[in-house]
């Protein structure tokens, strides 16, 4: 059977002639254009995954990808797949590695983006000499306010008393939050012997979740307790022995 392209009334048809010279099928030009546009769109969408595939390839590994990703890229010669290596969690995904062409494609785009995104040269300001320096303007108050609680000056065994008052009707509640913040300012990260961060698990019982974060150690330890001084109830904040 012979296939030819015919231009009929400004429309292209793919036709097949059988032995009796009759046209057995035809595809209009519009359908061909739509097919080409679809292929371009599919390639454009698949290209989003190419940098990650290249990254995995350069690390000596591979990346599982579905057909919508690897088929358009394979057609362009940008990746190759191993049909025997199937994702155990998704049978529709195959092990995918970037070809040299795929690696060069990504590296080229990265370099082009760096050139386009390069910041313009910063202006160079000339150094002036012999200019009278103006008097410094008064500093505006801002940032963290100076605390009325002198945690910085407290030594182990030192304390201060916060009585019940109109301004502080519940000293225990108020100072509990203040002490937590004070301890946080003296927390330092903890590392393992090999220099890697020492991690700990933080659980949120209310939300039923947990997360990993780097462990910390307090270099100063402050605590608060209910206290009564000369018949007046309140909260006693004191510096305890530092953590070992």
CA 219 from centroid of its chain's CA atoms: 31
In the chain, what are the domains? Answer: 2-112 (1.10.10), 159-190+218-240 (no CATH)
What's the pLDDT at 50? 92
- State pTM to two decimals: 0.39
β-pairing verdict for 209-214 and 159-163: unpaired
**Integer Cα distance of 181 and 176 in angstroms:** 9
What's the pLDDT at 229? 84
What's the pLDDT at 33? 54
Q: Which residues of the chain have pLDDT under 70?
A: 1-33, 111-147, 243-244
């Amino acid at each position: 059977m012979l296939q030819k392209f015919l231009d009929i009334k400004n429309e292209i048809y793919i036709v097949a002639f059988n032995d009796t010279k009759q046209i057995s099928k035809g595809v209009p030009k519009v359908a061909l254009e739509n097919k080409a546009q679809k292929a371009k769109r599919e390639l454009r969408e698949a290209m989003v995954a190419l940098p990650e595939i290249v990254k995995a390839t350069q690390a000596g590994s591979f990346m599982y990808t579905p057909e919508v990703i690897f088929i358009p890229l394979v057609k362009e010669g940008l990746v190759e797949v191993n049909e025997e290596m199937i994702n155990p969690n998704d049978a529709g995904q195959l092990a995918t590695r970037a070809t040299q062409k795929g690696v060069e494609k990504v590296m080229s785009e990265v370099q082009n983006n760096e050139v386009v995104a390069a910041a313009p040269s910063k202006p160079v300001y000339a150094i002036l000499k012999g200019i009278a320096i103006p008097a410094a303007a008064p500093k505006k108050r801002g940032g963290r306010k100076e605390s009325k609680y002198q945690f910085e000056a407290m030594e182990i065994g030192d304390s201060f008393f916060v009585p019940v008052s109109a301004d502080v009707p519940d000293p225990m509640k108020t100072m509990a939050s203040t002490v937590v913040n004070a301890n946080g300012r003296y927390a330092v990260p903890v590392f393992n012997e090999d220099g890697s961060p020492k991690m700990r698990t933080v659980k949120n019982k209310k939300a039923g979740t947990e997360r990993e974060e780097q462990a910390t150690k307090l270099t100063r330890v402050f605590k608060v307790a209910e206290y009564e001084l000369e018949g007046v109830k309140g909260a006693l904040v004191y510096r305890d022995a530092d953590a070992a």
